[in-house]
Amino acid sequence: MTVNGIGGINPLSNVQKTNRTNNTEKASFGADSVSISKEAKEMADAYYMKQVAAETPDVRADRVAEIKAKLQNPNYLNDAVIASAADKLMESFGI
């Protein structure tokens, strides 16, 4: 069995035809605008905060060195300092 042709269908006929319009309207250019949703703004803020948190060290070495220097001084540890530290610790735990 042999196939001689596809019955006069030219698969390139649609590609070869070009549709031209005689419409000569000029495109009107207006001011572009962009609107950002509230959710997108919140997500951008959360992403920024995550980046800042990732770049910030967990331990502030300058404060640790300062406190170590204060603890070396025997006059630093007195009842007022201990009470203040205890109050701040209890406050951080909500007690």
Query: Domain boundaries in the chain?
Result: 34-92
- pLDDT, mean of residues 3-16: 59
Q: What per-residue confidence (pLDDT) applies to 44? A: 95
Q: What is the pLDDT of residues 37-88, one digit of tens each?
A: 999 999 999 999 999 988 888 888 889 999 899 888 888 888 898 899 899 9
71 and 77 in contact (C-beta within 8 Å)? yes
What's the CA gap between 17 and 93, in Å, rounded?
Answer: 78
For position 37, what pLDDT does the model report? 94
Can you tell me the distance from the alpha carbon of 85 to that of 80, in angstroms, rounded to the nearest whole number?
A: 9
Rounded distance between C-alpha atoms, residue 54 and residue 48, angstroms: 10
Q: How many H-runs (helices) and E-runs (strands) does the chain carry?
A: 4, 0
